[in-house]
Structure 1
Amino acid sequence: MEQKKNPDIANGDKTLDRFDMAILRILQRDSSIANVTLAEKINLSPPACLRRVERLKKLGFIKSTVALLNPETLNAGLVVMIGIVLDRSTPESFKDFEGEAGKIRGCMECHMVSGEFDYIMLIRTADNQSFNKLHAEQLLFLPGVRQIRSFIGLREVFSTTQIPL
């Protein structure tokens, strides 16, 4: 006989019940939903729902509430993934690189990774020409960089900001 999974998720001392999980699922899809509508969808009173949302924010389950913009309409339709290899693997070289990486125009993400590269960056820019300019004027001058490998996105198959819950 198959066991049912417990709908409550424990994260340290932070336990999420089925109402919390429902709130998170809905807010991931549309954070602009009115509290009254959200409360109706999960069968809670609006004050109880609002208290739960505030608790989820306070506990760090909700980092922020944002609007997701359309990159094509804002002249940032080209996505480039960049693999970076540093010339040294020291705490100082990582700190220096990370301090400057966030200043790169159009840099959406930067991750320290294992494997062939030390970092993977995701950059959005207008087109190949603007990326070439960014590469020549900013990327080449990042501290400690030994190698840069660029991968230009040809077609977005899918992209999401939703964490599976």
Structure 2
Amino acid sequence: MKAISKPAPAKFSANKEYDLDRFDLALLRTLQEDSSISNVALAEKVNLSPPACLRRVERLRQVGLIRHYVALLNPVALNVGMVVLIGVVLDRSTPQSFMDFEDAVQKISGCMECHVVTGEFDYILMIRTRDNQSFNRLHAEQLLFLPGVRQVRSFIGLREVFSTTRLEF
């Protein structure tokens, strides 16, 4: 009879590798769903004792697998429901021009994400704002003054199909 082997534990690599067992993976998955869950409820959900659960969660934080905890807010209720994706092309591709742009874009009102990308653009930004008028003002007062920008192309979201913060692993 052939022996059934256990799957190898998942590895995390960002300078170091960490062996993640089924308890660690269950903790991470559960905390993604509700980071406000009490330690006692979390421990029960993943079949650990509360002290063991607390130690594991603290270790996951210390090694950087859990960066921080947040509350996900309702953008529509807070009057910033309009999403604009923006493609940016820089006029030069030098380390200094990239650094200058990256420093400046972090100060743009409502900018939630900035990614270096391949293809037609150098960067893709995701901005949340109130409406067309507020975006037009943001464009005229902030985006046009970002350093080293040759071209900005905006794509206004018409309807959100889905959005998630959940990582699949």
Give secondary structure in 2 for the equivalent of 1:121: strand
- Structure 2 counterpart of 1:26, from 10, 30, 35: 30
Q: Partner residue of 1:10?
A: 11
Equivalent AA in structure 2 for residue 24 of structure 1: L
Q: Partner residue of 1:62?
A: 66
RMSD: 1.4
Partners of 1:109 and 1:36 lie apart in 2 by 34
- Structure 1 counterpart of 2:136, from 132, 142, 147: 132
Cα shift readout 1:12-50 (whole Å, capped 9, x = no counterpart)? 431110000000000001000000000001110000000
Change in CA separation of 1:132 and 1:5 when aligned onto 2, cut-off 3 Å? farther
Gaps of at least 5 residues in structure 1 are none
Partners of 1:5 and 1:132 lie apart in 2 by 56
* Residues 96, 143 of structure 1: 8 Å contact kept: yes
* Residues 109, 123 of structure 1: 8 Å contact kept: yes
- Normalization by structure 1: what TM-score? 0.96
Q: Indicate whether 1:163 and 2:164 are aligned.
A: no
Change in CA separation of 1:4 and 1:38 when aligned onto 2, cut-off 3 Å? same
Q: State the number of aligned residues.
A: 164
Shift of 1:5: 6.9
Gaps of at least 5 residues in structure 2 are none
* Residues 7, 18 of structure 1: 8 Å contact kept: no
Bigger Cα displacement from structure 2, 102-111 vs 5-14:
5-14
- Normalization by structure 2: what TM-score? 0.94
Q: Indicate whether 1:43 and 2:44 are aligned.
A: no
Structure 1 residue ranges, 4+ long, deviating more than 6 angstroms after superposition: none
Cα shift readout 1:122-165 (whole Å, capped 9, x = no counterpart)? 00000011000000000000000000000000000000000002
Shift of 1:79: 0.3
Q: Partner residue of 2:150?
A: 146
Q: Indicate whether 1:72 and 2:80 are aligned.
A: no
Give secondary structure in 2 for the equivalent of 1:148: strand
Partners of 1:163 and 1:5 lie apart in 2 by 23
Equivalent AA in structure 1 for residue 7 of structure 2: N
